[in-house]
């Protein structure tokens, strides 16, 4: 430590006389040697180690001895007060600070620690006084506080007083680290600052560096744990364990785990852990805040108030308590209560940036956009460093370029080009969902529902999670705000956006219906279930992987199902959690009737806990779990019932020189999945197309529900293509596409075959399905335009041609001419405008000239076209189109 640089060192023995020693290395060493030989208080470094490993009582004893022996240094008091605070003895900690100040009245570090101690001891006025004294001391004798420890403390105090974060970083923490790159406190303070500003990469870097110097340090490991929580959950969990190993009584890490358990809806365990925390520190205000949250989440509003009051007993205006309560409620999608809590925190401390930031996010998620953006801008102005706010405001710029399609209750925001191409489809789908689910669940919105569709995945992530780089989600619902990734953002295998929006709108219904008091699993389960109800191919279907999981007994108990969403071990586990939840909902409806589900939702709305609600209207959870497991196993067995699912190791047979050996094996095992698949693949590899047909056909017969890119359908279609049997290929594709929710490649191929056969109705059907997957594909719109023209289905022709003008306007003369023809067929005056535009691009366009003459002959003069310029993909001229307007 460099504490004594530039200052004199005093030692004192037996309380008799002072010896003044110059700050020379040799003398300092001597001084330490003398102290050690006294058989007195343990050395400070020992006590520091002890406080870091949670031996708080021993630290208090040790520091008491040192203080009694009048050992020199403010650290004796600092460490003592720190240990007392860790045990919740705030009054004593405050006394210790005051005693320390009597001896070291110039100490800034004691005052810095004293601010918290005084606040927690119910002496807020004294805390303010200390801050003023620090400013005075540092102003009058700045030279005195230029050593590392004081610089770090001054940085922390400046931050708490609302100083600019970047400036603090440069003036204080960086300055220390330049001279002492391994300074523990400076590394921790910089890391904590980066964490607070959501600069997670920098935070991880700083804590990694710190961990190299101090590998078994709870505070550092815990910093690392939080920095990695979002990006590397496994590493984060290892760091958490390391922190707890270093200090098993480290309350901040224990509270972090409480938060985790609450996220997973494991409220009982969270309560147990809070009990353990109170054995270390019975007064911890944030533990009180978590108790209040638990009460809120378990339908105990009175308990919530009592616990909050208890958390505020000593420091009555502690903004952290309400900030935490609000943040946690918002994590449970209870944004209205969450924002109210942030407002309470801001009443206590109007400068509390984190509360303001959270409030801005809450408002944006509640659809209170004007207030939300205004506050976000104010926060950014006050604090230019925060990464989350910076990202959010960049997104605001992006959003200002979106258009809004308004059709009550929906306000759909999309990129202008996307809105023109499939905006109408989006609005129609949402209206359908509103009607269908509204009738079923008895709920229709009375406030606007905002739907935002993002072509850039990072914009979606920032809007949804507050940070870029979060992937794997197609859409998210906050209640009355839905965000979704557009098909443009999903390059490889785009999902079905219609199913996604159906799913998200169903969340709107269940969240609003229950006042956001629905467990995660049930909300997801109902959303996936309703996808399946809306369309046989939507939602998730039983597949070999799920079959295996169920039959191997890997179903999660219903009680723990929400946890499976919040801490999945792999993306596959998460997918399965969705599927299982939908299965549970399906089981409940089958077994107890849909009315029962409705009653459960009503109960949840009035605050009844899910277990009780299910027990009241169905059965107790354990019994239900058992029945559900049996039912799920039955369904799993039904999948490919006649198929032999055993995985045989056929490698030796496949590699055999005798290429017929596999075929003979399959003859003996005619229903083996592995065998049939291996045989088909062997034949495909050998380009023996005819031989590949029978095993694939048999696989389809035995397991007709299979979907996905590697299903026997897709393989068989490819084989038939090689055999140049277009009829068979078409048939197989036609059977397959209705079974899959996003069979884009198969649909493109099917359309090609149908076009060759001039099966225009077929093309129209395939194109309609493709619009739900890849609406931005020009190939799709070209096919739809041609088929619709052939069939004289002019509104659909127009919609496709308009889309082509946006997506692939290479032949504008042709597109405008065809649009003019379609409008003319519908006797719309817009025909003239389009034919004139066609002629503008190609003045000698003969057919266009003739069409113009025809139009002029039929339209009486004076009646000019008055169609809006930015019409969006109209289905029919009769239905009014929502006007596309720039959003603010
Ligand atoms: Zn969902």
DSSP assignment string, 415-480: EHHHHHHHHHHHHHHHHHHHHHHHHHHT---SS-EEEEEESSHHHHHHHHHSSTT--S-SEEE-SS
Cα of 501 to ligand 1 centre, how many Å? 10
Neighbours of 85 (CB within 10 A): 24
Strands across the sheet containing 884-886: 475-477, 481-485, 449-454, 410-415, 402-407, 884-886
Given a contact cutoff of 8 angstroms between Cβ atoms, the answer to whether 602 and 442 are in contact is no
The burial of 667, by beta-carbon neighbours within 10 Å (0-12 exposed, 13-18 middle, 19 or more buried), is given as exposed
Cα of 430 to ligand 1 centre, how many Å? 16
Tokens 């931050």 identify what position? 159
List the structure tokens of 701.
């017969």
For the CA atoms of 358, 363, 365, 369, what is the dihedral angle to 10 degrees? -130
Cα of 173 to ligand 1 centre, how many Å? 43
Strand 475-477 with 481-485, pairing: antiparallel
Cα of 394 to ligand 1 centre, how many Å? 26
Cα of 474 to ligand 1 centre, how many Å? 9
Given a contact cutoff of 8 angstroms between Cβ atoms, the answer to whether 240 and 221 are in contact is yes
Could you tell me the sign of the dihedral formed by the alpha carbons of 510, 516, 518, 520, in that order?
positive
Tokens 């330049």 identify what position? 178
The pLDDT score that the predictor gives to residue 21 is: 26
Tokens 């549970």 identify what position? 584
Cα of 291 to ligand 1 centre, how many Å? 28
Cα of 333 to ligand 1 centre, how many Å? 13
List the structure tokens of 162.
């609302």
List the structure tokens of 574.
């998460």
Strand 481-485 with 449-454, pairing: parallel
CA distance 252 to 129: 28
Given a contact cutoff of 8 angstroms between Cβ atoms, the answer to whether 172 and 188 are in contact is no
H or E segment to which residue 885 belongs: strand 884-886
H or E segment to which residue 396 belongs: helix 387-399
CA distance 887 to 423: 15
The pLDDT score that the predictor gives to residue 294 is: 95
Long-range contacts of 852-858 (CB under 8 A, 24+ apart): 854/824, 855/820, 855/824, 855/831, 856/832, 858/824, 858/827
Neighbours of 336 (CB within 10 A): 14
The burial of 171, by beta-carbon neighbours within 10 Å (0-12 exposed, 13-18 middle, 19 or more buried), is given as middle
Residue 790's nearest CA partner among 764, 812, 810 is 764
Cα of 504 to ligand 1 centre, how many Å? 6
Question: Does the N-terminal peptide bond of residue 409 adopt cis geometry, omega within 30 degrees of 0?
Answer: yes
Tokens 């022996």 identify what position? 69
Long-range contacts of 186-190 (CB under 8 A, 24+ apart): 186/148, 186/151, 186/152, 187/213, 187/220, 188/219, 188/220, 188/223, 189/152, 189/155, 189/156
CA distance 138 to 725: 88
* Helix, strand or coil, per DSSP, at residue 721: helix
Cα of 465 to ligand 1 centre, how many Å? 14
Side-chain half-sphere exposure of 189, counting CA atoms within 13 A = 30
Cα of 264 to ligand 1 centre, how many Å? 16
CA distance 209 to 186: 12
* Helix, strand or coil, per DSSP, at residue 814: helix
Cα of 524 to ligand 1 centre, how many Å? 5
Cα of 477 to ligand 1 centre, how many Å? 7
Given a contact cutoff of 8 angstroms between Cβ atoms, the answer to whether 479 and 366 are in contact is yes
Residue 104's nearest CA partner among 132, 129, 137 is 137
Tell me the Ramachandran region of residue 325: left when phi exceeds 0, alpha when psi lies from -120 to 50, beta otherwise. Answer: alpha
CA distance 571 to 860: 64
The contacts of residue 201 (CB under 8 Å, 6+ apart) are: none
Residue 357's nearest CA partner among 399, 388, 316, 331 is 388
Neighbours of 265 (CB within 10 A): 21
Q: Which residues of the chain have pLDDT under 70?
A: 1-40, 859-888
pTM (two decimals): 0.83
Cα of 229 to ligand 1 centre, how many Å? 22
CA distance 747 to 766: 6
Cα of 432 to ligand 1 centre, how many Å? 18
| First and final C-alpha spacing in the chain | 55
Look at the chain and count its residues.
Answer: 888
Q: What φ, ψ does residue 478 adopt, rounded to 5°?
A: -105, 5
For the CA atoms of 819, 824, 830, 836, what is the dihedral angle to 10 degrees? 70
Cα of 472 to ligand 1 centre, how many Å? 12
Give Cα 550 distance to the centre of its chain: 27
DSSP assigned state of 93: H
């Amino acid at each position: 430590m460099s504490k004594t640089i530039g200052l004199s060192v005093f030692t004192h023995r037996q309380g008799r006389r002072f010896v003044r020693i110059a700050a020379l290395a040799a003398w300092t060493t001597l001084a330490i040697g003398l102290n050690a030989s006294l058989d007195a208080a343990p050395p400070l470094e020992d006590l520091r180690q002890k406080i870091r490993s949670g031996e708080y009582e021993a630290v208090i004893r040790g520091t008491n001895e040192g203080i009694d022996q009048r050992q020199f240094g403010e650290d004796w008091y600092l460490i003592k007060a720190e240990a007392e605070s860790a045990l919740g003895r705030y009054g004593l900690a405050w006394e210790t600070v005051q005693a320390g100040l009597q001896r070291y009245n110039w100490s800034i570090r004691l005052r810095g620690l004293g601010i918290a101690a005084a606040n927690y001891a119910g002496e807020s006025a004294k805390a303010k006084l200390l801050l003023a004294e620090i400013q005075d001391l540092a102003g009058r004798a700045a030279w005195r506080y230029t050593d590392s420890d004081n610089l770090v403390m001054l940085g922390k105090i400046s931050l708490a007083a609302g100083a600019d974060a970047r400036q603090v970083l440069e003036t204080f923490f960086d300055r220390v680290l330049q001279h002492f790159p391994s300074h523990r406190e400076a590394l921790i303070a910089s890391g904590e600052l980066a964490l607070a500003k959501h600069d997670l990469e920098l935070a991880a870097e700083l804590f990694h560096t710190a961990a190299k110097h101090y590998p078994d340090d709870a505070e550092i490991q815990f910093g690392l744990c939080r920095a990695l929580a979002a990006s590397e959950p496994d590493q984060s969990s290892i760091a958490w364990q390391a922190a707890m190993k270093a200090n098993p009584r480290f309350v901040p890490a224990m509270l972090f785990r409480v938060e985790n358990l609450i996220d997973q809806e494991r409220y009982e365990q969270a309560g147990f852990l809070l009990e353990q925390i109170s054995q270390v520190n019975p007064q911890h205000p944030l533990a009180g805040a978590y108790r209040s949250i638990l009460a809120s989440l378990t339908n105990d509003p009175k308990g919530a108030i009592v616990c909050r009051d208890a958390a505020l007993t000593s420091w009555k205006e502690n903004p952290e308590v309400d900030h935490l309560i609000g943040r946690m409620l918002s994590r449970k999608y209870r944004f209205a209560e969450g924002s109210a809590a942030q407002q309470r925190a801001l009443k206590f401390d109007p400068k509390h940036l984190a509360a303001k930031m959270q409030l801005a996010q809450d408002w944006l998620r509640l659809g209170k956009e004007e207030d939300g953006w205004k506050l976000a801008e104010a926060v950014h102005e006050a604090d230019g460093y925060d990464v989350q706010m910076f990202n959010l405001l960049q997104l605001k710029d992006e959003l200002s370029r979106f258009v809004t399609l308004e059709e009550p209750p929906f306000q759909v925001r999309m990129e202008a080009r996307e809105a023109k191409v499939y905006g109408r489809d989006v609005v129609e789908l949402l209206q359908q969902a509103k009607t269908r689910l509204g009738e079923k669940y008895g709920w229709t919105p009375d406030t606007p529902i905002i739907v935002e569709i993002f072509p850039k995945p990072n914009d979606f992530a920032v809007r949804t999670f507050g940070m870029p780089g979060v992937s794997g989600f197609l859409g998210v619902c906050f209640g009355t705000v839905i965000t979704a990734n557009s098909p443009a953002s999903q390059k490889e295998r785009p999902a079905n956006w219609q199913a996604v929006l159906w799913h998200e709108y169903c969340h709107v219904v269940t969240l609003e219906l229950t006042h956001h008091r629905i467990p995660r699993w049930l909300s997801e389960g109902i959303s996936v279930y309703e996808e399946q109800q809306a369309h046989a191919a939507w939602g998730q279907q039983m597949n070999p992987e799920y079959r295996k999981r169920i039959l191997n007994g890997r179903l999660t108990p219903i009680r723990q199902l929400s946890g499976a969403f919040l801490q999945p071990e792999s993306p596959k586990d998460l997918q399965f959690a969705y599927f299982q939840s939908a299965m549970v909902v399906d089981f409940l409806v089958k077994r107890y009737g849909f009315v029962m589900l409705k009653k459960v939702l009503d109960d949840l709305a009035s605050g009844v806990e899910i277990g009780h609600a299910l027990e009241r209207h169905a059965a107790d959870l354990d019994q239900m779990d058992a029945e559900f497991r049996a039912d799920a196993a039955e369904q799993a067995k039904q999948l490919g019932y006649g198929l032999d699912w055993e995985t045989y190791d056929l490698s030796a047979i496949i590699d055999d020189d005798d290429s017929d050996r596999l075929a003979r094996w399959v003859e003996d095992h005619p229903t083996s999945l592995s065998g049939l698949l291996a045989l088909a693949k062997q034949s495909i590899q050998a380009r023996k197309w005819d031989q590949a047909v029978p095993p694939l056909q048999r696989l389809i017969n035995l397991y007709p529900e299979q979907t996905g890119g590697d299903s026997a359908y897709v393989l068989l279609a490819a084989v038939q293509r090689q055999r140049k049997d277009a009829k068979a290929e078409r048939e197989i594709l036609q059977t397959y596409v209705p079974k899959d929710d996003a069979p884009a490649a198969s649909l493109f191929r099917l359309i090609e075959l149908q076009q060759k056969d001039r099966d225009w109705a077929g093309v129209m059907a395939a194109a309609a399905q493709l619009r739900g997957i890849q609406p931005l594909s020009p190939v799709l719109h070209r096919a739809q335009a041609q088929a619709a023209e052939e069939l004289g289905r002019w509104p659909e022709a127009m919609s496709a041609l308009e889309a082509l003008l946006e997506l692939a306007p290479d032949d504008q003369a042709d597109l405008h001419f065809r649009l003019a023809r379609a409008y003319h067929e519908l006797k719309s005056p817009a025909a003239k405008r389009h034919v004139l535009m066609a002629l503008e691009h190609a003045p000698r366009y003969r057919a266009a000239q003739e069409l113009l003459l025809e139009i002029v002959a039929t339209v009486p003069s004076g009646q000019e076209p008055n169609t809006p310029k930015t019409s969006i993909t109209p289905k029919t001229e009769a239905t009014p189109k929502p006007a596309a307007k720039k959003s603010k």
